[in-house]
């Protein structure tokens, strides 16, 4: 059904991995979509199949520069998400999260639009509480190599809540946990795409540390439903709300699953653990369940099979 309350949507970062799936789903629901992207980590190819849709437009633009558009709702997904890429130009990463979010909040304020900020489990840093609930304030190293991303996203959350309190803006913050699926770049650098690409190419899987660190992996389709549910939630619900799949795996277990599902004879290559790499990560999704009625439906094995099928196509 069309989203009658907010038929015109702007998706910043819409040509990226999550953004391209979101644009697709919004069009399916009957929204018009303006996709805004500077193509730092995304690509026009990701939304090529949407260009012929009459409700879709693609705008090459960097959100660190103010923009004008008449829209009912804004999804801010603009920001490189892979540690490999956000560390390449850490100053630009901070600029994107802080100045980019500020520009989009101003756009929302001028047009009285709703705005959803794609925040991250990284705001919890290397968490001292497990699983992570939204009330936990986190354990982030403010001067480490991951800080450009973690602190940038924390400041973006602050801006959302200040715009809500100061200007009455309808803001919504989603704390997204590790999400994977088709349209990740083969050179994205995150663990699921790295392992699958390496397994399919017969290269050793690069395991950082001893593989005992954990992550909770959410399939992209589930995550997108969570974002839409949050945007559709009552005006007074700002979050923050955790969106992720609570099934927790060690990175070593993920490597084993990928090897088994690809039938690859690749071995494992142990590499040093990057600085400040969180030891454990698992969302408590009680709030999302209770307020949005949202729960992820795709087990890791099923999501991995679909992602492997995708990479099998693109690596040919
Ligand atoms: P991605 O790198 O594929 O997508 C980010 C998109 O933003 C890209 O298309 C990129 O070109 C664009 N972008 C970056 N800087 C920009 C700028 N200054 N102006 C305009 N566009 C810009 O990453 P993704 O996995 O799709 O993540 C999307 C969002 O979700 C990010 O904000 C990320 O922080 C957040 N998130 C993702 C995950 C995940 O596991 N995928 C987890 C937590 C949070
Ligand atoms: N990782 C790994 N090999 C890789 C890429 C990542 O072992 O080729 C590890 C990484 O050290 C981390 C986990 O997998 O412990 C998840 O890393 P990713 O970059 O996907 O996301 P994040 O660290 O931001 O959760």
Instruction: Supply the pLDDT for residue 6.
Output: 52
Instruction: Supply the pLDDT for residue 1.
Output: 38
- Among 190, 266, 268, the mutation site with the greatest number of ligand 2 atoms within 8 A of its Cβ is 190
Instruction: Supply the pLDDT for residue 3.
Output: 42
82, 122 Cβ separation under 8 angstroms:
no
Integer Cα distance of 221 and 203 in angstroms: 29
Query: Both ends of the chain: CA-CA distance in Å?
Result: 37
Three-state SS for 28?
helix
Q: How far is the CA of 290 from the centre of ligand 2 (A)?
A: 30
DSSP one-letter code for 272:
P
Instruction: Supply the pLDDT for residue 166.
Output: 98
Q: Give CA angle at 60 (55, 66), nearest 5°.
A: 100
Residue 161 CB less than 6 A away from ligand 2 = no
pTM of the model: 0.97
Integer Cα distance of 197 and 310 in angstroms: 10
pLDDT < 70 positions in the chain? 1-6
Residue 63 CB less than 6 A away from ligand 2 = no
Q: What DSSP element (H or E) covers 36?
A: strand 32-37
CATH superfamily of 8-181+218-246+283-297: NAD(P)-binding Rossmann-like Domain (3.40.50.720)
DSSP one-letter code for 285:
-
Chain Cα centroid distance, residue 127 = 19
- Among 19, 20, 42, 79, the mutation site with the greatest number of ligand 1 atoms within 8 A of its Cβ is 79
Q: How many other β-carbons are positioned within 10 Å of the β-carbon of residue 212?
A: 12
Is 124 a known active-site residue? no
241, 173 Cβ separation under 8 angstroms:
yes
């Amino acid at each position: 059904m069309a989203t009658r309350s907010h038929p015109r949507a702007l998706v910043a970062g819409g040509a990226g991995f999550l953004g391209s799936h979101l644009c697709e789903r919004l069009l399916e629901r009957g929204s018009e979509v303006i996709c805004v992207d500077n193509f730092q980590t995304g690509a026009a190819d990701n939304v090529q199949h949407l260009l012929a849709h009459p409700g879709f437009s693609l705008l090459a633009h960097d959100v660190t520069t103010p923009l004008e558009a008449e829209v009912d709702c804004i999804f801010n997904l603009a920001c490189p998400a892979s540690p490999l890429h956000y560390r390449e130009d850490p100053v630009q990463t901070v600029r994107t999260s802080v100045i980019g979010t500020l520009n989009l909040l101003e756009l929302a304020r001028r047009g009285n639009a709703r705005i959803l900020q794609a925040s991250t489990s990284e705001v919890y840093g290397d968490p001292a509480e497990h699983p992570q609930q939204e009330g936990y304030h986190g354990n982030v190293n403010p001067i480490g190599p991951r800080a450009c991303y973690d602190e940038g996203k924390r400041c973006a959350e602050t801006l959302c809540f200040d715009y809500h309190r100061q200007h009455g803006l309808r803001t919504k913050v989603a704390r997204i946990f590790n999400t994977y699926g088709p349209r990740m770049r083969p050179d994205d650098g995150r663990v699921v795409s790295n392992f699958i690409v390496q397994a399919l190419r017969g290269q050793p899987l690069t395991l950082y540390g001893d593989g005992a660190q954990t992550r909770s992996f959410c399939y992209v389709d589930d995550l997108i439903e969570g974002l839409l549910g949050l945007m559709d939630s009552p005006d007074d619900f700002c979050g923050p709300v955790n969106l992720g799949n609570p099934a927790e795996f060690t990175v070593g277990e993920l490597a084993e699953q990928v090897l088994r599902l690809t039938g690859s004879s690749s071995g494992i290559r142990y590499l040093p653990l990057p600085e400040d790499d969180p030891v454990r990560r698992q969302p408590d999704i009680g709030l999302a369940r209770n307020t949005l009625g949202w729960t992820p439906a795709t087990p890791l094995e099923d999501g991995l099979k679909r992602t492997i099928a995708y990479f099998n196509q693109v690596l040919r």
